[in-house]
Structure formats: C-alpha cells, structure tokens
C-alpha cells in the first residue's frame, strides 16, 4: 500500500513549512500514521538531520519501515507520544527544533472494520490505537456506571442526548460490536440527527479508550521542555476539545486559559503564538479530502526562558550598564 492510500496527509505542505526552520536540525513527528508528513519533512532535511517518528500503532510503524527501509535520517519509535521524554534519547533533550502532531486516527485505522473505529462498518468494539493498551471500547460500554458513561458522552462527545443514550446502552448490555452499539443509539435518536450522534458517541469512546486528552496535555508540557529555544510546536487538531488545549497552552502555558504572572507582574508566556489567525485547509483540499474539513493548524515557538521573572525595567537598566 502506498503512503497516500494508507492516509492522505492534511495540510501537509503548510504544516511542514511551519515546522522546518533548520534543514540540519532534529525533528519529531509524534503521529507518524502513513508517513505522509514524515516524507515531506525528510524532503526538507539535509544529510545530517534527524527525524524521530512515533506511533503507538504497530501497523503504522511496519508500513513506514517498509517504505523507508534505506532512510538513515528517520528513527522509528513505537510508543505513546505522551511519553516523548522517555522515547527520545537523552542527548537530544532540549535540542529539538520542531515537533509535529497530526492528531486523531488515520484513514487506515478508520477503514479497518476490525479496529472498531467506524459506526459505518461492523466490527468488534475495540478502538485501541495500538495493542499497547489493554482497555477496549467494549470494556467501557459494558462496565462503566450510568453516571460515568453519561458524563463521558457529554464531555468528550459534546452529545446533548447523553442521558438517553447512556441509559439505552446500560439496558442493552452486553454490547460487543459496533453494529450493536449503532442499533442502540439509533433506537433513541431520530433519524435526521442519528449520524451526528453516532459520530459523537464513537468520538467520545475513542477519546476515552486512548486517553487522548491526557496524552495531549502530557506531550504539550514535555514537548515544551524538550524543544530548544525558538523550537516549534506545529499541531493539527480535528475537534474542539483538543484544539482548546493547544490554544490555551500556546497562549498561556496552561490548559485552563488563565494568564499567569510572575512576582513583578509580567505575564509568563512559555510559548509565542506564531499565527494569531489559525491556519485551515483550502476549499480545494476540503473538497478532495473530507477529513480535512475540521482541521485547524496551530503553530507556536518556545520563548527563551530568560523572560520569566524579569523585571520590566531590567532591559533598560542593562542597556544603561552596557550588558545588553
Ligand atoms: C491522523 S494520523 C497521522 C497521519 C500522518 N500525519 C500521515 O501523514 O500519514 C494519526 C496517527 O497518530 C497515531 N497516534 C495518535 N495518538 C497517538 C499517541 N498518543 N501516541 C502515538 N501515536 C498516536 C495514530 O495511531 C495514527 O496513526
């Protein structure tokens, strides 16, 4: 299978243009998938550069390993990007020039009925992105208490009918397949709203199975530590929950979206947002690739640590002393 048959990369050229600032640098692709972004990154890099590419899905790693067998600049790492600090060799900590994340699942994962990601195909209620995890979607729908299931659908799926759907799931237990879950949701949601509700229910379960938001928070914090000064985070998000986490972290250095001030009253901003206006795919790309429709690209650069705890007058004082 060619890389583009496995997954068509979204915002490929723009994301890579934002990421690569030094062709001799060290980069991380945290979501390798079919390797479409990775291939484009490698095209921009010189002989000595390094690209560490991570995926928790062994199928993605095997697919890319086959296509890039002779590529010495590419180091494939199987694992969760949330543990980037453990996956990356110590010698590159603090020296990473850019980290790319293209969040969510690949077309290959969605298209495989056996992975259980799609309500349009019958398969086991699995939804694990990789076999490193043990808990499946079936474990969640069959064991969570009513209140936890309801909250999960409401918070991660932003599903307004979470009460009705959670009750119906509990009454229909045990559920083993995507078709069974689809029938349960269809039984309580009118036809004209059904597909949207199904998409939200499946999204909520996928986020929970894979701990997606926890891992995103972790890589944003750890990734920030691993970047060099002015190193870049480039993230493509597909739903509002993950997008909000990135937006807040890039703007305020925390996930709640509250400005934090130091002792002198300066706002502490660990990152500089590089595009105040978010980058989205062109109409042409959206028409060609339905997955691109909800994509948002955010870019931020790591601020030098020195601005934290610096008094507003420091620069003026140092200039007078001739030390700046
Ligand atoms: C949207 S696809 C990436 C597609 C890729 N950019 C390309 O051009 O083909 C997302 C990939 O990231 C992986 N992934 C998602 N979350 C992950 C995580 N927390 N750790 C490691 N891999 C993850 C998925 O398994 C999937 O293969």
What confidence tens digit (pLDDT) does each residue in 256-291 have? Answer: 998 988 888 888 899 999 998 999 999 999 999 999
Residues with Cβ within 8 Å of residue 269, at least 6 apart in sequence? 251, 252, 253, 303, 307
* DSSP β-ladder status, 50-55 and 96-102: unpaired
1 or 58, which is more confident? 58
Question: Which of these three, 209, 226, 247, is where a domain ends?
Answer: 209
Q: Is the pLDDT of residue 69 over 90?
A: no
Nearest alpha carbon to residue 94 among 223, 220, 215, 221: 223
Number of domains in the chain: 2
For residue 103, being part of any structural domain is answered with no
Identify whether 193 is part of a domain. Answer: yes
Q: Distance between terminal CA atoms of the chain?
A: 56
Do both 122 and 161 map to the same domain?
yes
Q: Could you tell me if residue 184 is inside a domain?
A: yes
pLDDT score for 318? 47
Contact between residue 312 and residue 283 where contact means Cβ atoms under 8 Å apart? no
pLDDT of 3 reads 62
Last residue of a domain, one of 189, 209, 229: 209
> Which ligand 1 atom sits nearest the alpha carbon of residue 9?
8
pTM recorded for the entire structure: 0.93
Same domain, 126 and 169: yes
Task: Tell me: pLDDT of 321 over 60.
Answer: no
Looking at residue 162, which CATH number applies to its domain? 1.10.150.170
pLDDT digits (tens, 9 = 90+) for 15-31: 999 999 999 999 999 99
Q: Ligand 1 atom 8: the closest Cα is on which residue?
A: 36
**What is the domain range of residue 13?**
1-27+34-43+55-78
pLDDT of residue 320: 54
Residues 66 and 120 in one domain: no
State whether the beta carbon of 37 lies less than 6 angstroms from ligand 1.
yes
Q: Are residues 115 and 178 in the same domain?
A: yes
Beta carbons of 78 and 162 less than 8 angstroms apart: no
Best residue among 31, 211, 297 to mutate for probing ligand 1, ranked by most atoms within 8 Å of CB: 31
Is the beta carbon of 223 within 6 A of some atom in ligand 1?
A: no
Q: Place 297 in a pLDDT band, splitting at 50, 70 and 90.
A: very high
List CB contacts of 299: < 8 A, sequence separation 6 or more: 18, 232, 233, 234, 235, 273, 274, 275, 279
For ligand 1, whether the C-beta of 54 sits within 6 Å is yes
Q: Average pLDDT for residues 71-84, to the nearest whole number?
A: 97
């Amino acid at each position: 299978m060619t890389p583009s048959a496995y997954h068509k990369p979204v915002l490929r050229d723009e994301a890579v243009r934002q990421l690569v600032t030094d062709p001799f640098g060290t980069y991380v692709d945290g979501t390798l998938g079919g390797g479409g972004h990775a291939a484009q990154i490698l095209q921009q890099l010189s002989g000595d550069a390094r690209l560490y590419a991570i995926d928790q899905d062994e199928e993605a790693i095997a697919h890319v390993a086959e296509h890039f067998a002779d590529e010495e600049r590419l180091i494939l790492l199987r694992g969760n990007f949330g543990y980037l600090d453990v996956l990356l060799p110590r010698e590159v900590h603090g020296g990473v020039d850019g980290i790319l994340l293209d969040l969510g699942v690949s077309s290959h994962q969605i298209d495989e009925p056996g992975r259980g990601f799609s309500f349009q195909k019958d398969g086991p209620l699995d939804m694990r992105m990789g076999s490193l995890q043990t808990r499946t979607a079936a474990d969640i729908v069959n064991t969570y208490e009513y209140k936890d299931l309801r909250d999960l659908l409401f918070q991660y799926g932003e599903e307004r009918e979470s009460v009705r759907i959670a009750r119906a799931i509990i009454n229909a237990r045990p559920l083993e397949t995507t078709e069974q879950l689809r029938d349960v949701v269809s039984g309580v949601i009118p036809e004209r709203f059904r597909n949207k509700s199904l998409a939200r229910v499946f999204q909520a379960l996928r986020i929970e199975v894979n701990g997606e938001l926890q891992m995103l928070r972790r890589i944003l914090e750890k990734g920030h530590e691993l970047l060099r000064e002015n190193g870049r985070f480039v993230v493509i998000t597909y739903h509002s929950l993950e997008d909000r986490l990135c937006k807040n972290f890039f703007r305020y250095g925390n996930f709640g979206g509250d400005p934090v001030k130091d002792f002198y009253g300066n706002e502490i901003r660990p990152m500089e947002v590089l595009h105040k206006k978010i980058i989205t795919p062109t109409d042409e790309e959206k028409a060609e690739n339905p997955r691109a429709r909800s994509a948002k690209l955010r870019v931020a650069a790591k601020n030098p640590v020195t601005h934290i705890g610096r008094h507003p007058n420091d620069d003026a004082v140092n200039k007078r002393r001739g030390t700046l």
